[in-house]
Chain A
């Protein structure tokens, strides 16, 4: 058995660049008039030479601050944008050519926009997608029943979209996007604006989808919760450039060489002695947090327990949010 997909990366990005021309408008009427006659153009390097590969069945988190270029990469991969330079291939296709065989196998979910017909019930869009993707009636019924049960929207399928709540609408959007069982899914902020219960539902859904279809998923999110729960591997980009590509726990090791000891003391003592253990980050008696080098954690903990009146002790990793913030700000 030599499945072509098993020997070839599903997504392959090489030196991808995408620049935009934007013109600047100065504030005020004067600026408006000036910009009418002579425009100042500025080049924005949204993506500036990014390379990575994703194998079949991987669920990869794509993170970066606002404007890092994440969405632009996803748009290039799904065939919406023409790359300024470099190349992208998905399932062996060049996305921008938008061949039907390619389009039938991929999907792009955008948390911010919708494809559902606003004035009609979601069902109408589902039926349209059924025809567009040539989904057989039986399979359509099965998939739709399953998805709507899983996402708990069975009873809103025939209600006008404009009357649905944000959560219901987002779930219906998701159904519309995966009805044709794509094997490659690009998701841009799939949980944006949703409450925690709904976020969890969407995550569970994605995890399940990834497992059952061996689908390759690349997802961006500002909620580290999404990434922590779903992705083993993360790709971090900032200002169009790749900063990190590897396992999520490696990010922690690479960018957080320290661990946190949080201690609760049982009685007073000379607090200055704590400086010997490590760097005291917070002190609010009886609580204290001390950061110590990763390798010295157990020694420091033992020291604390032996020589200090400790009531409670926890060894923690620096929260991932904190680490990512450090990566972004370069500190």
Chain B
């Protein structure tokens, strides 16, 4: 376990090497939040309801999603693709070290850092803009929220790895599918708007796909909008997807390694 602790430390240290880079990264995060915030503030005039959401509810959602996003979607495992394409993967294959665990550790380090800073930034935003907030007091729901965030986190991790595996077969264009995927993901995970403003049939179909379990579902558990049955259903569907992606990643990795040529090394 100590090896992963050192991986964790190294990941942290790397962030603090370049101060400007670090600062710009944070500015980008705040900017992203503010854009969404003001967009929805303008889209829903005060006192009116759009898609069943009034302004305060929508703004609460946007702030909540930023917090969840800062944990679930923060990730370093994007670099797996370049590891494969450049042959740096070889470094890991030579050592008694779990490659997926290595990247999961780096992801967690990234998530903790990103989340902590996002909390500070969002607190500042709240302090300045005074949006309405929902504090969940039920320990039971808070626990289920953590569980849902955990499922989303692992789901996204395997997602991200699976995308990176493309590099085994197409080392020169692993970025385009990822880019396309990220846009789709933002949309269907509920990163831009709450998914329940979509037509009923579309929304119900979506709930069988993995996307909502990244952002929309954990946030709704927190907001107390779901019944126990709905929470159970959501966690189950999420876990099934985790399992499917896990198998797919394992399988693809083994297949990819047979095809791997350790180029450039």
Contact = CB atoms under 8 A, between A and B. Distances in A.
A117 B10 contact: yes
Nearest to A106: B94
Interface in A103-162: 103-104, 106-108, 110, 112-113, 115, 117, 119-120, 124, 127-129, 131-133, 160
Given A82-B258, A132-B3, A103 B94 contact: yes
B6 A104 contact: no
Indicate the size class of the contact surface on chain A. Answer: 20 to 34
Indicate the size class of the contact surface on chain B. Answer: 20 to 34
A128 B6 contact: yes
A294 interface: no
A71 B7 CA distance: 29
A78 B93 CA distance: 9
A112 B265 contact: yes
B265 A110 contact: yes
Contacts of A127: 6
Contacts of A79: 93-94
A216 to B, nearest CB: 16
Nearest to A71: B265
Contacts of A78: 94
A120 B17 contact: yes
Interface in A86-111: 98, 100, 103-104, 106-108, 110
Contacts of B264: 112-113
A80 B93 contact: yes
Contacts, number: 70
A45 interface: no
Contacts of B93: 79-80, 98
Contacts of B6: 127-128, 131
Contacts of A285: none
Of A20, A112, A132, chain B has the most CB atoms within 10 Å of the CB of A132
Of B6, B10, B14, B95, chain A has the most CB atoms within 10 Å of the CB of B95
Interface stretch (B56-64, B83-91, B199-207): B83-91
A103 B95 contact: yes
A32 B94 CA distance: 36
A31 B97 CA distance: 43
Interface in A46-93: 71, 75, 78-82
Interface string B67-108: 000000000000000000001101101111100000000000
Interface in B219-263: 257-258, 260-262
A75 B262 CA distance: 8
Interface of A: 20, 71, 75, 78-82, 98, 100, 103-104, 106-108, 110, 112-113, 115, 117, 119-120, 124, 127-129, 131-133, 160, 188
7 contacts: A81-B261, A104-B96, A108-B94, A113-B87, A117-B14, A124-B10, A160-B17
